[in-house]
A and B are shown apart, each in its own frame.
Chain A
Amino acid sequence: MKKYSVFAIAREAMRGHKGWEEQWTSPEPKKEYDVIIVGAGGHGLATAYYLATEHGITNIAVLEKGWLGGGNTGRNTTIIRSNYLYDESAGIYDHALKLWDGLSQELNYNVMYSARGVMMLAHNVHDVRVFKRHIHANRLNGIDNEWLTPEQAKEFCPPLNISKEARYPVMGAALQRRGGTARHDAVAWGYARGASARGVHIIQNCEVTGIKRAANGAVSGVETTRGFIGAKKIGVVAAGHSSVIMNMAGVRMPLESYPLQALVSEPIKPVVPCVVMSNTVHAYISQSDKGELVIGAGTDQYVSYSQTGGLHILQHTLDAICEMFPIFTRMKMLRSWGGIVDVTPDRSPILAKTPVQGLYVNCGWGTGGFKATPGSGNVFAHTIAKDDPHPINAPFTLERFRTGRLIDEAAAAAVAH
């Protein structure tokens, strides 16, 4: 792997940019690997990268049915934060946030992590109390989160409407300054480049159609559209399709898959300096470096794998955006799209061993997995390499739905994650 640097740019400028190499290779699949990762999204590629860099396992294949980063990694609204209520969630999301800080240097790839601040608006007395409780819980966990009055919120984000005449007036806000955004595609590409340089095979257009198990019940490999590929360890990181893949090994999951939509506006001059979220009116918005407003909507109410959702969901979100930012009422929206998110009953992820020996699962990130990408890959790699969870992901078991040890962010965070 040739290092990217200002010298590389100068060198290539001198010789007509003929020396840039492919960022990752596309080898033919081998007959057998030490580890197979199902799904080449951010989480899967990060898992492969950390298996290679931290655990010395490089005989890995990352199988992807479509193209690299083409699922939810390329479809989210790129928001990063770690101000979750419960200790377990705080642990894993802040582990990720610490890795975001410095990820561009680590990968030698600009993931454009921008700690521009994530501001969550409170619109009623209940919101105010809940957010203040969050702030105190976060501070006990060493996570920055602070309370802003409506005036302070407007100072931090000038286009915000804090009029008392609003249908849902802003009564304050919780601000995590370390939160922000990153370039979602670059995260997948950076991890793919780093993993590929260490010998990991990234195999696109290779759909897993079955999981084979040996006589003792342990996994022995996967059937794919490009033939059988053997492996003693399989990590399933398939987002919305996790329950489909796990069913192939006979494991039924506490998951339901829903469409989640997002949209972007025409590009405009910089106007929204941070990320603004509102759980109560349900909208979140930030501005990309290209100038587009990036807006996240809610999930549809029914199980679907269609990667499209209802128009009324987008309308509902835009109603809220226009209420929060009246200056955007005449903006034109350019594109909208949908992704399929796998949601657990307690809205916390599952990163764990499974009842099947050699089968590991990283799923259930629901509507908010992007922010966790580096941390999730990091601890999942540990789980696969050691056949034992890292202390950070130890609480995120599959068994918690039997034992009752839920991590109930669903109740804590209401809707937006």
Chain B
Amino acid sequence: MLLIRCPYCEEERPELEFRNAGEAHIARPTNIAAESDDDFEKFFFIRANPKGVIYERWRHIHGCARFFNAVRDTVTDKFIMTYKAGEPKPAKLPGAAK
């Protein structure tokens, strides 16, 4: 089971308190009716599914119930960092090579 740090509660809690909510930083189209089929497919179905660093959303559903974002390595399942929803994608990851 993963230990996940909720950036709102500011503590590590067991995965059972959380729901994964898929890939992060996918912006919903502002005018969805005008989207082309190609763009809608990219927004709705196509996913990065990286082997390595993933940016993903979690929800602390059995805690503060808030959404936040996390950076995790999908090979080791280790969390690199978590940050609040609405904050930009971190330009540099802690521990990453310069």
Given contacts A401-B45, A403-B37, contact A303 B1 (CB under 8 A): no
Contact with A along B51-81 (1 / 0, CB 8 A): 1001010000000000000001011110000
Contact B1 A310 (CB under 8 A): yes
Q: Are B37 and A306 in contact (CB under 8 A)?
A: no
Interface set of A (CB-CB < 8 Å, partner B): 241, 243-244, 252-257, 301-306, 308, 310-312, 345, 401-403
* Interface assignment of B25: CB less than 8 Å from any CB of chain A: no
Q: Is the CB of B77 within 8 A of A254?
A: no
Do A303 and B45 touch (CB < 8 A)? no
Distance, CA A79 to CA B45, complexed state (A): 29
Q: Please, how many angstroms separate the alpha-carbon atoms of A254 and B40 in the complex?
A: 12
B40 proximity list for chain A (CB < 8 A): 402
CB <8 Å contact, B20 and A301: yes
Q: Quick one: closest B residue to A301, CB to CB? A: B20
Task: Determine which residue in A252, A308, A311, A345 has the highest number of CB atoms from chain B within 10 A of its CB, and name it.
Answer: A252
**Contact of A306 with B49 at beta-carbon distance under 8 Å, contacts A301-B19, A311-B1 already known:** no
Is the beta-carbon distance between A253 and B56 smaller than 8 angstroms? no
- A310 touching B15 by the CB < 8 A rule? yes
For the complex formed, measure the closest distance between the CB of B72 and the CB atoms of chain A, giving whole angstroms.
8
Q: Smallest CB-CB separation from B18: which chain A residue? A: A301
Among B4-60, those with CB < 8 Å from A are 15-16, 19-20, 22, 37-38, 40-42, 44-51, 54, 56
Contact of B75 among A243, A252, A256, A306 (CB under 8 A): A306
Query: Considering the chains assembled together, what is the distance between the CA atoms of A146 and B63 in angstroms?
Result: 45
Expressed in whole angstroms, the Cα–Cα distance for A256 and B23 within the complex equals 10
B54 to chain A, nearest CB (A): 6
Can you list 11 contacts pairing A with B, beta carbon distance less than 8 Å?
Answer: A244-B49, A252-B48, A302-B72, A303-B49, A304-B74, A304-B75, A305-B74, A306-B77, A311-B1, A345-B44, A402-B38
Q: Which of B37, B49, B56 contacts A243 (CB 8 A)?
A: B49
Taking a contact as CB atoms under 8 Å apart, the answer to whether B74 and A306 are in contact is yes
Chain B residue, CB-CB nearest to A251: B46
Q: Are B37's CB and A302's CB within 8 A?
A: no
Residues in chain B near residue A256, CB distance under 8 A = 22, 47, 49
Whether B51 pairs with A302 at a CB distance below 8 angstroms is no
Interface residues of B (CB under 8 A from A): 1-2, 15-16, 19-20, 22, 37-38, 40-42, 44-51, 54, 56, 72, 74-77
In the complex the two chains form, what is the Cα distance from A257 to B56 in whole Å? 13
Are B46 and A303 interface neighbours, CB within 8 A?
Answer: no
Q: A256-B47, A401-B44 are in contact. List 8 more A-B contacts (CB 8 A).
A: A252-B48, A254-B47, A301-B19, A302-B77, A303-B54, A305-B51, A311-B1, A401-B46
Expressed in whole angstroms, the minimum distance between the Cβ of A208 and any Cβ of chain B is 13
Residue among A241, A255, A302 making CB contact with B56, cutoff 8 Å:
A302
Which of A303, A306, A402 makes the CB contact (< 8 A) with B41? A402
**Contact call A310/B51, Cβ cutoff below 8 A:** no
Q: Which residues of B contact A312 (CB under 8 A)?
A: 1, 15-16
A257 touches B49 (CB 8 A): yes
A396 → B minimal CB distance (Å): 15
The chain A residue sitting closest to B49, CB to CB, is A243
Which residues of the partner chain B approach A241 to less than 8 Å between Cβ atoms?
Answer: 51
For B19, the chain A residues whose CB sits under 8 A away are 301
Q: Are A255 and B47 in contact (CB under 8 A)?
A: yes
Q: Taking CB as reference atom, which chain A residue is nearest B42?
A: A252
Most buried by A among B38, B48, B50, B77: B77
Nearest residue in A to B21 (C-beta to C-beta)? A301
Q: How far is the CA of A306 from the CA of B56 in the complex (A)?
A: 16
B1 / chain A contacts, CB cutoff of 8 Å: 310-312
Given A254-B45, A402-B38, A403-B37, check contact A244 B77 (CB 8 Å): no
